[in-house]
Amino acid sequence: MPSRLLATSKKLRAKPNNSHPPVKCPTCKKSGDWFAGKYGPFCSHRCKLVDLGKWFSAEHAISEPLRPEHFEKFANLPPGGHLDKPEG
């Protein structure tokens, strides 16, 4: 394998991180710590774009509109505003 290809394939691998369990890429099903990488939960930019294309072509779709009763079981959860702030 040419060294340039080997270097590229190493860049695509997610870096190990003990804070997240391994997950499977939704597109290609490769297992890894994809949330630690740039494209999480996807393993690569390509897999992210393939998934986006499936949404645009309606291959992926939300089966029915959300109604208020869908949210009832979440009514007692604490506010999650802190979850949107970057860690650091």
How confident is the model over 16-59, as pLDDT tens digits?
A: 545 667 889 999 999 988 888 888 899 999 999 999 999 999 88
Rounded CA-CA distance 55/58 in Å is: 5
Which residue range is the domain that position 47 belongs to?
Answer: 27-59
Domain count, the chain: 1
Rounded CA-CA distance 35/38 in Å is: 8
pLDDT recorded at residue 1: 46
Q: Specify if 39 maps to a domain.
A: yes
**Tokens read off for 77:** 């959860």
**Tokens read off for 86:** 């970057």
Judged against a pLDDT cut of 70, whether residue 86 lies above it is answered with: no
Residues facing residue 31 across a β-bridge = 24
- SS3 annotation, the chain: CCHHHHHHHHHHCCCCCCCCCCEECCCCCCEECHHHCCCCCCCCHHHHHHHHHHHHCCCCCCCCCCCHHHHHHHCCCCCCHHHHCCCC
Q: Specify if 14 maps to a domain.
A: no
Q: Specify if 52 maps to a domain.
A: yes
Q: What is the pTM of this model?
A: 0.51
Percentage above 70 pLDDT, the chain? 68
